[in-house]
């Protein structure tokens, strides 16, 4: 059976791909077999390779793609990335809003195409996938999380060189390093329920995903 090519989601990297798959597998039927997956999740090795001149327009033109979703990190430039998405998609969706809806974008056009956008963590704040995952940490791990935050900050006084924009990455990976086994990948941590895939903070993204892909 051919993979469900008519439903496509573009993400930045492998971690994003497996995190989305394992998160959604807690909420909808998602086969372990790639060819039976309800959505084809495609990683593009960075936001630059999603927001270039060709990637989004070519997929919106493709006759076999009916639903195209975009999942990227805000980092520290959410407004700039949203405006870039508007430039790329407005020729196909003339009713693109000026501002990204808080619940994520889902838009249909007269050609029967559907386009969706979610900017991590929540379509409003600066941040990234790791910022989103922080809010999926179980309640009984909150004290350890606070210790991970403190340890990550202290590391800068002991030779740590991570950039400020990557603070959330450093924090979440520090916390994961103290799990059993240490330093699981995000998707595996979701699969093993190290993260709580049903935490309230996951609800907005899950709802957007299900509505966009009609699953």
pLDDT range class, residue 3, cuts 50, 70, 90:
low
Domain ranges across the chain: 7-127+198-213, 129-191
**Residue 90 to residues 56, 59, 69, 84, 158: CA-CA distances in angstroms?**
11, 14, 15, 10, 48
Q: Check if the beta carbon of residue 157 is closer than 8 Å to that of residue 125.
A: no
Q: Report the distance separating Cα 211 and Cα 112, nearest Å.
A: 16
Mean pLDDT of the chain: 96
> Concatenated DSSP letters for 151-211?
HHHHHGGGT----GGGHHHHHHHHHHHTSSSTT--HHHHHHTTSS-TTSGGGHHHHHHHHH
Q: Check if the beta carbon of residue 201 is closer than 8 Å to that of residue 132.
A: yes
pLDDT > 50? residue 1: no
* Token reading at 92: 């196909």
pLDDT tens-place string over residues 173-214: 999 999 999 999 999 999 999 999 999 999 999 999 999 999
Q: What is the mean pLDDT of residues 112-136?
A: 97
The predicted pLDDT at position 26 comes to 98
Q: Report the distance separating Cα 5 and Cα 155, nearest Å.
A: 45
pLDDT tens-place string over residues 51-64: 999 999 999 999 99
| Topology (CATH level 3) of domain 7-127+198-213 | Rossmann fold (3.40.50)
pLDDT range class, residue 44, cuts 50, 70, 90:
very high
Nearest to 117 by CA among 81, 162, 169, 150: 81
Q: Check if the beta carbon of residue 152 is closer than 8 Å to that of residue 174.
A: yes
pLDDT tens-place string over residues 71-94: 999 999 999 999 999 999 999 999
Q: What is the mean pLDDT of residues 165-172?
A: 95
Q: How many other C-beta atoms lie within 10 A of the C-beta of residue 110?
A: 7
The predicted pLDDT at position 2 comes to 54
């Amino acid at each position: 059976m051919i993979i469900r090519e008519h439903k496509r989601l573009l993400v930045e990297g492998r971690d994003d791909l497996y995190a989305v798959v394992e998160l959604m597998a807690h909420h909808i039927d998602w086969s372990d077999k790639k060819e039976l997956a309800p959505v084809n999740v495609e990683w593009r090795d960075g936001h630059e390779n999603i927001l270039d001149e060709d990637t989004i327009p070519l997929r919106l033109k493709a006759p076999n793609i009916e639903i195209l979703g975009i999942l990227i990190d805000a980092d520290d430039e959410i407004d700039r990335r949203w405006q870039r998405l508007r430039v790329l998609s407005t020729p196909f969706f003339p009713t693109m809003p000026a501002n990204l809806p808080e619940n994520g974008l889902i838009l249909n056009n007269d050609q029967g195409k559907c386009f969706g956008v979610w900017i991590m963590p929540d379509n409003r704040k600066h941040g990234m996938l790791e910022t989103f995952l922080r809010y999926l940490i179980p309640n009984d791990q909150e004290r350890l999380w606070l210790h991970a935050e403190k340890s990550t900050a202290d590391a800068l006084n002991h030779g740590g060189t991570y950039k400020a924009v990557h603070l959330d990455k450093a924090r979440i990976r520090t916390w994961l390093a103290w799990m059993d086994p240490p330093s699981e990948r995000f998707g595996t941590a979701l699969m093993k329920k190290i993260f709580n895939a049903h935490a309230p903070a996951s609800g907005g993204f899950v709802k957007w995903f299900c509505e966009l892909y009609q699953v």
